[in-house]
Structure 1
Amino acid sequence: MAGGDERRAAGAPETASMKNLARLLSMLGAEDRATPAEHKFWKTQPVTQPGDSEALPQGVIQPNVPPEQVRAAPLPLPADFAWATVDLDDEVQLREVYDLLTHHYVEDDDATMRFKYSPAFLRWVLRHPGFDKSWHVGVRVKSSGKLVAFIAGIPQELRVRTQSLQVTEINFLCVHKRLRSKRLAPVLIQEVTRRCNMSGIFQAIYTAGQVIPTPMSCTRYYHRTLDAAKLLDIGFSAVPRGMSREDHIARFALPTTTRTEGLREMQAADVPAVGRLLRRYLARFDMAPRFTDAEVRHMFAPTNEERVTWCYVVERDGRITDFVSYYSLPSSVLNHDTHDTLSAAYLFYYATEAAFDAPPAPRDTPDAPSPYERAVAAGDAPWQRTECSRLSPAEAADERGVAPWHTESAAQKSALKTRLQELISDVLVLAQQHGFDVVNCLSGMDNALFASDLKFGPGDGFLRFYLFNWRVAPIAGGLGGRAGEDDLDPAHDTPHPHPPSQWGSGNGVVMV
């Protein structure tokens, strides 16, 4: 799939395996392809609907309510099934989720590719700081206890333009392939919604490859070949017409060592500095998460478990000036004589001082309890804390005075582009050294500033972002640089002083 449009422009046919990978990626975040029945379901939910007037107020669609006004019992299931809360602290139950996702979560139409989420990966994602066990929802067969469906909610503080709120990130919606006709997916969504509402959370963010009511941002997958010979051997790429195999492989050659002075692996002691840099960098976007230092430690600091993320910093004169990370999500390659795994690295969060005209000013805000902690101490109920930030005053001060991404000067964008190209070039070298075959990314964040120059090829997969119970004007996802993309971009008519494809994006959310 890497470089798919480039190959087609050169006249080379896209391989069947490439198309399977494209379908696999385009299905991320979705149990199955959209159907009229699914659209009928979404028309009953508090989401932006097609044709909604632009005059409708931005923000909450249905107000929060106390738990006594939330449905007390889940919707009924077919007679042979029962609801369950999956305890991921129990290794047996964690393995059940792993087995269900391995065989039934996301698979291409021809059953030749399948994502391989490891137990360590699931533990890392689903046991996010502040996680609620009740948001790990399962369906079991009554007679055997077998887990046959799952959906998860992950806590997140999300800023949408000037408004911040506590939300649930919905992920890993999965139903056993033999039970797809039971229409369990809408019931799973309603049950995790009910449980989140009982916990005082009434907004959510989720992604899907398909179009359902109504995407507020759209991003495209990009792929950078690392092991060109392997991808040719297993049919995931093809040599362009008029080019030899050797020349094709040589096109993707990388240096043997990194070039950025001061680049090193992130350590636990770097968490405060990385947290401060990342909060400042993400404050530039129209939509982005707000990470506490505790979340930065969980997501990026190394552990003794099976490795999931690779995280690096650049240190200059005792100061962290840059941060970059990626995570591992391999795919099984089925029915191949030699290779059984495609090792893929996915670009994750990054940040650099190059986005700013000057380094941050010294902190002048003493640390103190966060607004959320103060609300708890004051006795406010969970459903009254939606807009209370979990960032401490000192952490929130890191975002102070940051200008929006689309107001940055041409000189700032040029400096940012140059620095990101340097950093991501080194990421490619490091990922190759660690045995990855390809590096994937979306067109969100500032990825459009470096993707083409670093030989990331545009793929056929798109990932759309949705907000539940929150109406917002569309947010640019970095589309617009290729034919036909404008028609796919919900933010196409959103005014910006520069084309999003050249200026970056307003979407600072990266979901696994």
Structure 2
Amino acid sequence: MSGSDKRNAAPIDNKALTAQRFEQELANAPADVQDKLRLLLQQMALAGVGGDADAGSSSKVPKSMEDHKFWKTQPVVKHDEVVEEDGPIEADVPLEKVRATPYPLPKEFEWTLVDVEDDKEIKELYELLTLNYVEDDDAMFRFDYSAEFLKWALLPPGWKRAWHIGVRVASNKKLVAFISGIPQDVRVHDNVKRMVEINFLCVHKKLRSKRLAPVLIKEVTRRTHLEGIFQAVYTAGVVLPKPVTRCRYFHRSLNPKKLVEIGFSHLGRNMTMARLIKLYKLKAETSTPGLRLIEERDVAQVKQLLNRYLSGFEFAPNFEEEDVRHWFISRPGVVWGYVVENEETKEITDFFSFYSLPSTVINNPTHSTLNAAYSFYYATTTSLGAEPSAEATQQKKERLSALMTDALILARQNDFDVYNALDLMDNALYTEDLKFGPGDGYLHFYLYNWRCRAIETDKIGLVML
């Protein structure tokens, strides 16, 4: 359920940049004070206290559990519940006790499995998502998933056809709803669990009153239980019971003139278009020695580097070589992966990646598509394993800023209009210096059937599509 508000944008917001400076000042405080203040700020953010005026529905005070007719029946943490110890909410169910038959649908609908490898069926899924999936609050932009992107997202190592679940109209076989899951090993604090990442929950706009979404969620849950998996991770723009954390989207303009013309951003007071273009201008070429596209021969090193780097976060996946091969070796128009190779030792010292997720521009006379690059996974050996210190943080900041500057240049060379990143991982170290501005989109992270102590955004190492 990777959810709404993924591309909502706002012009550069000095309040948010000040918040980053606050974090820098906070770093000088005693460790126990830092932890208490950050936890308090996180709790305030999740409750919508002091939210920005432009934060949209995701910053409002959550509904009570009684108002969540579906979620109050599910094994999820309640809004007012304080989690002190991680662990399952419900025990694993023996296979013989898992429901053997699909949940019933209204009589005019029937279950189907969408064959993502079939050109006809992937086109059907593309059309359903393009016309009915995530749209910004102002109905200006709508995700435009390509068939190749969907194959990449839905066919990772270990994928299950039974987890590509659709609903068709019984009379004409039209695909009107979909939900998917993919397997992923996820570490939450000190626990590593085989989970399923739930994504692409979509119901046709004209059928939202049919309450198909809860049935889709129950059905994908039933099918994952049949595989012996009882925990799931998902994201949404809205506040459900109960977020592990809330991340904010930041946007770096690559084509400022177009972004203004389509209403993604606007000229600030006393700002001219010429000055805006100059402000966001990038160098023509990258500057990191040894930077190149990832190749098959790099897979083992990248796996080791990425897992070591992600070990520093409290909520992160674990990658095998086949995962690295699938997710990060570049695919035209879908994903780009880069490594930095030490020319003398041949060691891979750094890695970064980004993927393409364009949006349809709705009712614009000049432009039909917003070409957006999204920051994916990255890792660096700089300060890796070093004791926490201001010096180590500064070294990492400088290295990530250099790498991400090159990522921006490469994205611009590939005709992207904007580069998006959440404020998770170590992104806050470079976003302000590289002129990322905060958007009004928020993404909440959730766990199904797992109690989890609250996690700060910079301790999230999981990036969901």
TM-score, normalised via structure 1 length: 0.78
CA contact (8 A) 2:10 2:440 kept: no
- The range that moved more, 428-437 or 225-234, is 225-234
| Cα distance, 1:245 vs structure 2 | 2.0
Tell me which residue corresponds to 1:324.
352
1:226-271 CA-partner distances (Å, limit 9, x unpaired)? 1111112222222211222211221111111111111111112111
CA contact (8 A) 1:345 1:431 kept: yes
1:280-305 CA-partner distances (Å, limit 9, x unpaired)? 101110010001000000001135xx
1:64-84 CA-partner distances (Å, limit 9, x unpaired)? 122211112222111100111
Aligned with 1:354: secondary structure? coil
Once residues 129 and 35 of structure 1 are traced to their aligned partners in structure 2, the CA distance between those partners, rounded to angstroms, is 39
Tell me which residue corresponds to 1:418.
398
Matched letter for residue 93 of structure 2: V
Say if 1:461 and 1:111 are closer, same or farther in 2 by CA, change over 3 A. Answer: closer
Matched letter for residue 450 of structure 2: W
Once residues 77 and 364 of structure 2 are traced to their aligned partners in structure 1, the CA distance between those partners, rounded to angstroms, is 44
How many residue pairs get aligned? The number is 418
CA contact (8 A) 2:65 2:79 kept: no
Tell me which residue corresponds to 2:425.
445
Matched letter for residue 139 of structure 1: V
1:402-454 CA-partner distances (Å, limit 9, x unpaired)? xxxxx722222111111000000111111111100000000001001100110
CA contact (8 A) 1:3 1:224 kept: no
Once residues 442 and 153 of structure 1 are traced to their aligned partners in structure 2, the CA distance between those partners, rounded to angstroms, is 22
Once residues 351 and 161 of structure 2 are traced to their aligned partners in structure 1, the CA distance between those partners, rounded to angstroms, is 31
Tell me which residue corresponds to 2:13.
5
CA contact (8 A) 1:3 1:223 kept: no
Tell me which residue corresponds to 1:64.
92
Output aligned runs, 1:121-136, within 5 Å: 121-136=149-164
Aligned with 2:250: secondary structure? strand
Matched letter for residue 276 of structure 1: Q
Matched letter for residue 207 of structure 1: T
| Cα distance, 1:149 vs structure 2 | 0.4
Q: From 145, 154, 161, give the equivalent of 2:182.
A: 154
Once residues 247 and 298 of structure 1 are traced to their aligned partners in structure 2, the CA distance between those partners, rounded to angstroms, is 41
Output aligned runs, 1:475-490, within 5 Å: 475-477=455-457
Matched letter for residue 461 of structure 1: G
Q: Gaps spanning 5+ residues in structure 1: where?
A: 10-18, 28-32, 359-406, 478-504
CA contact (8 A) 1:160 1:288 kept: yes
Matched letter for residue 124 of structure 2: E
Tell me which residue corresponds to 1:496.
none
Once residues 409 and 236 of structure 2 are traced to their aligned partners in structure 1, the CA distance between those partners, rounded to angstroms, is 31
Once residues 341 and 210 of structure 1 are traced to their aligned partners in structure 2, the CA distance between those partners, rounded to angstroms, is 25
Once residues 239 and 415 of structure 1 are traced to their aligned partners in structure 2, the CA distance between those partners, rounded to angstroms, is 34
Once residues 90 and 436 of structure 1 are traced to their aligned partners in structure 2, the CA distance between those partners, rounded to angstroms, is 29
Matched letter for residue 39 of structure 1: H
Output aligned runs, 1:207-222, within 5 Å: 207-222=235-250
Tell me which residue corresponds to 1:492.
none
Query: What's the RMSD between the two structures over aligned residues?
Result: 2.3
- The range that moved more, 118-127 or 100-109, is 100-109
| Cα distance, 1:6 vs structure 2 | 4.2
Tell me if 1:194 matches 2:253.
no
Once residues 71 and 338 of structure 2 are traced to their aligned partners in structure 1, the CA distance between those partners, rounded to angstroms, is 41
Once residues 269 and 227 of structure 2 are traced to their aligned partners in structure 1, the CA distance between those partners, rounded to angstroms, is 58
CA contact (8 A) 2:357 2:372 kept: yes
Q: Gaps spanning 5+ residues in structure 2: where?
A: 1-8, 18-51
Tell me which residue corresponds to 2:253.
225
Matched letter for residue 429 of structure 1: I
Say if 1:34 and 1:147 are closer, same or farther in 2 by CA, change over 3 A. Answer: farther
Tell me which residue corresponds to 1:240.
268
Tell me which residue corresponds to 2:463.
510
Tell me which residue corresponds to 2:453.
473
Tell me which residue corresponds to 1:409.
389
Once residues 124 and 35 of structure 1 are traced to their aligned partners in structure 2, the CA distance between those partners, rounded to angstroms, is 38
Once residues 284 and 295 of structure 2 are traced to their aligned partners in structure 1, the CA distance between those partners, rounded to angstroms, is 24
| Cα distance, 1:170 vs structure 2 | 0.3
Aligned with 1:60: secondary structure? coil
Tell me if 1:40 matches 2:66.
no
Aligned with 2:382: secondary structure? helix
Say if 1:236 and 1:272 are closer, same or farther in 2 by CA, change over 3 A. Answer: same
| Cα distance, 1:39 vs structure 2 | 1.5
CA contact (8 A) 1:38 1:186 kept: no
Q: From 341, 361, 366, give the equivalent of 1:315.
A: 341
CA contact (8 A) 2:177 2:204 kept: yes
Aligned with 1:59: secondary structure? coil
CA contact (8 A) 2:75 2:448 kept: yes
Once residues 308 and 35 of structure 1 are traced to their aligned partners in structure 2, the CA distance between those partners, rounded to angstroms, is 40
Q: From 191, 206, 209, give the equivalent of 1:181.
A: 209
Matched letter for residue 310 of structure 1: W
Say if 1:7 and 1:354 are closer, same or farther in 2 by CA, change over 3 A. Answer: closer
Say if 1:412 and 1:458 are closer, same or farther in 2 by CA, change over 3 A. Answer: same
